[in-house]
Amino acid sequence: MIYLDHNATTPVDERVLQVMLPFFSRFYANPSSLYKLARLSRSAIDTAREQVAQLVNARPEQVIFTSGGTEANNLALKACLPKAKAITSAFEHPSVLQSLHNPELAVITKQGYIDPQSIIQFAQQFDLASFMLVNNETGVIQDIPSLSAIMKQQGTIVHTDAVQAAGKIPVDFQAMGVDLMSLSSHKMYGPKGCGALIASPEHINNPLLTGGGQEAGLRAGTENVPAIVGFGKAAELAHAELEQRHQHCLKLRTRLENQLHKIPGVTVFALDSERVANTVQFGVQNCVGEMLLMQLDKRGIAVSSGSACATSNWSASHVLNSMGIEEDLARSAIRVSLGQGNTEQEIDCFVQELMQIL
C-alpha cells in the first residue's frame, strides 16, 4: 500500500514505540500512588510534559494531557467560558464548531485565509475566539499572531487548534499571543488516544472530567502512561527533526504538484497560499472525490476525499464551501497528505494511477 493520508493519522515511529513498551509491562503502576514503582510512572509523565512544552515553547505546567485533539478542543471551549459569546471560522474542525454556542463565523477568502477585516468589526463583541492554525484539508497556515492581536485589544480569550501544525512548522505558544492551544500525538508519529491542551490553569474554570486530582485537577482520570510517554518522545523527535521533515515533504509536494499541473481539469486548492509542506488538496472537473478515492484504494493507494458522506448523499467539504469553491469542483476533492515514509517513486505511481483512472 502507498499511504498518502498522514493528516488523518501517522504511523507510530519505531523510536516512539520502543519507549512506550516498558510502560505496558514493567512500569505499570498507577502514577498517583506513592511507592517507587508508581513514582517511576509519575516521573515519565513529567518528562513527557517537558518534551511537549518544548515543542511549542510553553511551560511544562501549562501542558494538560487529554485523550486527543478533540478532547483538548472541547476542554478549551467548554471549560473556559461555557456559552460565551464566541467567534470562529466556518472551516474549523467539528470539535470546535460543535463546542461553541451559536458562534459568529469569520469570512474565509478563496485562498483559504480568515479575513481579518471580518473580525475587526466584531472584535469588541466576543469573550472567546477560536481559529485553526493549519487547516486539515488545504494545509493553509493562518496568521494567528495577527488574528490574536485583534481579539486581544478587546480582552477576548483566544484559542488555536494547532493539531495539524505541531511537528510540521515551528509553533510558538508564547509568541502567538494565544491563551489556549490544542495538540494531538498521532499527527506527529505518536500513539492515538493522547493529546494536550496548552493553557494556564486560571483559564479552565469548569473541567469536563471531575472526580480526581490528575492534571492539577483540570482533567480527572488515571493517566494513559504509555501513550503520554509516546507523545513526549514524538514531540521530542518532531522538535529535533522539524526542518528535515519539512524539506522531505516539500520536495515530494513540489514533485506532485508539477505533475498534477499537466493533467487537464485538475485544480489545486489554495495553490498560492502559505501551506504546510505535506498537504495538497485538489479537485478534478466532472469527477466525484469518493469515486476517485475508491478507485485509488483498489490500486493500493490510500488518500482522503475533501467530501463527507451524509446518509446516502455526497456532500461537498465544508472547508471548500467556506472558501467559495464551486459545488461540483468541491465534491471532486482529493487530499494527499505526505509523510516521512513516502518516496518520489510513490508520488510518480500515484499520479500514473490517477491518470489511468481519469
Give catalytic residues, as residue numbers. 309
Q: Is 192 exposed, middle or buried (0-12, 13-18, 19+ CB in 10 A)?
A: middle
Give the C-alpha separation, 289 to 108, whole Å: 22
CA–CA separation, 111 vs 347, rounded Å? Answer: 25
- What's the rounded Cα separation, in Å, for the pair 34 and 15? 29
C-alpha cell at 171: 509553533
The secondary structure of residue 112, as a DSSP letter, is: S
Closest to 67 measured CA to CA, from 223, 234, 229: 223
- Map residue 253 onto helix, strand or coil: helix
Q: Are strands 334-337 and 279-284 parallel, antiparallel or unpaired?
A: antiparallel
